[in-house]
């Protein structure tokens, strides 16, 4: 009898298993694939490895601007692919070793509920029944397949397939202008592919500030990416050629491959939810946000399968901590989604935390916004990346409720603003602290001073 059985070995699952050992709880972690989940195997880590390789290549190509003379660089796709694989395998080995060291029992196989406190695992040699006082479901997500665009792994691919392209694709049509679609557009443009992106809505990266989306679009267009916004995409053919076109047959583009990046769906089919009286909402599980417990006592859910949450790896970690804290102590430790950052690892990066202006207005808040461009920031000019801005949103006469950064190292800069949102800091309180010069963070300091009513530059 285990204290906790975790089904799924991604960030939410292995995070729950490791955190549970802090309380001396006995843990079984059931995983049918390699430990690491979507983030480590098919998402965050491999995608960012590709983006880093593309950024290095782009930097070397502009080395002459910095007074560094080199020969014409060449992007070696197979080497970048092997580097990505090496990084993933190294992290997987490290994680497996950590789980062993922390005395987590890893059970290989496909797990499903077989009643309250029971998980049946289908192993290569048969079935095995595990029993536990609590069960945490963390089975993750899979790419959404669009009608009319069946995945074949070559002509029509998901992001899972694209991470393992054996060679650089020449002409790529991307269906979906969200985070995943824009990240692939950025890296492919940097390595010389022709890219067209179709997005159903009128804005890229929906859910972010419109100004941030416009700046990202502008900078990607400068690097050759074509965008078709406000229209769905249709698959057409012209002889033996593949054509991607806007709904209605307009704006046709000949492509070699199509990447469908319209989101991910929860993996809850076959979990045996009916054995404990649980149903789903479009595949998602509903939980008590204070504890991550489902409607069935003793059964918890974290990560991509939870309804109404952002579907971020670091969000899954936080949800795992919340669930284990309740299991171990009986006390609630809810996730503060309000202060959970989100990052788009394009070039330039986009990062946000808290509310957008539209969300604040919808919530009935009276807000004001202030922003400062990287254009005149000394450090940004030194590194040759002075496009973008920092934007801060605060209640009139009240605390900071949201922030957005577009520009160099936005994913790092956002964490200072995360604390401000989380601690409900007043602009004048945060503006009292001095940022080092010359740094990119000065853009944040300047924005805070403007929000406090006393701008410097």
Task: Report d(CA 184, CA 351) in Å as an integer.
Answer: 17
**H or E element: which one contains 44?**
helix 44-61
| Sheet containing strand 342-344, strands side by side | 342-344, 349-354, 400-407, 389-395, 367-373
Task: Report d(CA 413, CA 21) in Å as an integer.
Answer: 32
Task: Report d(CA 329, CA 321) in Å as an integer.
Answer: 12
Q: Is 51 helix (H, G, I), strand (E, B) or coil?
A: helix
Whether 437 is catalytic is yes
Based on its alpha-carbon atoms, the radius of gyration of the chain, rounded to whole angstroms, reads 23
Considering the candidates 134, 161, 415, 437, report the single residue annotated as catalytic: 437
Can you point out the beta strands (E) in 67-149?
105-108, 110-113, 118-123, 126-137, 141-143
Task: Report d(CA 444, CA 339) in Å as an integer.
Answer: 17
Query: For residue 352, what are the CA distances in angstroms to 66, 161, 184, 306, 345?
Result: 31, 28, 19, 21, 12
Q: Angle at CA 24, nearest 5°, toward 21 and 30?
A: 45
Active site residues: 437
């Amino acid at each position: 009898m285990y204290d906790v059985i975790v089904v799924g070995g991604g960030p939410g699952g292995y995070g729950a298993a490791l955190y549970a050992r802090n309380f001396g709880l006995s843990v079984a972690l059931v995983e049918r694939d390699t430990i690491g989940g979507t983030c480590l195997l098919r998402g965050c880590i491999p995608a960012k490895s590709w983006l880093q390789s593309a950024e290095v290549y782009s930097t070397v190509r502009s080395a002459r601007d910095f007074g560094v003379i080199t020969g014409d660089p060449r992007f070696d796709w197979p080497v970048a692919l092997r580097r990505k694989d090496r990084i993933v395998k190294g992290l997987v080995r490290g994680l497996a070793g950590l789980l062993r060291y922390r005395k987590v029992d890893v059970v290989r196989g496909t797990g499903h509920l077989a009643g309250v406190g029971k998980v049946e695992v289908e192993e290569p040699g048969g079935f095995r029944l595990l029993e536990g006082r609590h069960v945490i479901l963390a089975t993750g997500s899979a790419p959404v397949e669009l009608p009319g665009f069946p995945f074949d792994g070559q002509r029509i691919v998901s992001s899972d397939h694209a991470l393992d392209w054996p060679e650089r694709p020449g002409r790529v049509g991307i269906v979906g202008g969200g985070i995943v679609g824009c990240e692939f557009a950025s890296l492919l443009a940097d390595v010389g592919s022709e890219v067209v992106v179709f997005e159903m809505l009128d804005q890229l990266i929906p859910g972010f500030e419109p100004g941030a989306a416009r700046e990202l679009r502008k900078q990607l267009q400068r690097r050759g990416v074509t965008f078709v916004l406000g229209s769905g995409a249709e698959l057409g053919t012209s002889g033996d050629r593949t054509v991607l076109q806007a709904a209605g047959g307009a704006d046709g583009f000949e492509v070699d491959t199509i990447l469908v990046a319209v989101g991910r769906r929860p993996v809850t089919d076959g979990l045996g939810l009916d054995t404990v009286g649980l149903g789903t909402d479009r595949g998602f599980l509903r939980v008590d946000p204070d504890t991550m417990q489902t409607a069935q006592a003793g059964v918890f859910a974290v990560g991509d399968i939870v309804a109404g949450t952002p579907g971020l790896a670091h969000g899954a970690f936080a949800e795992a901590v919340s669930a284990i804290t309740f299991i171990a102590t009986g006390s609630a430790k809810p996730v503060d989604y309000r202060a959970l950052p989100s990052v788009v690892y394009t070039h330039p990066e986009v990062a946000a935390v808290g509310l957008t202006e539209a969300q604040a207005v919808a919530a009935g808040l009276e807000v004001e916004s202030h922003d400062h461009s990287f254009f005149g920031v000394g450090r940004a000019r030194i590194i040759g990346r002075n496009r973008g801005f920092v934007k801060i949103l605060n209640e009139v006469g009240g605390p900071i409720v949201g922030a957005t950064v577009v520009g160099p190292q936005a994913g790092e800069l956002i964490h200072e603003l995360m604390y401000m949102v989380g601690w409900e800091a007043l602009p004048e309180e945060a503006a009292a602290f001095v940022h080092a010069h010359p740094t990119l963070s000065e853009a944040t300091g300047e924005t805070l001073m403007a929000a406090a009513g006393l701008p410097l530059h």
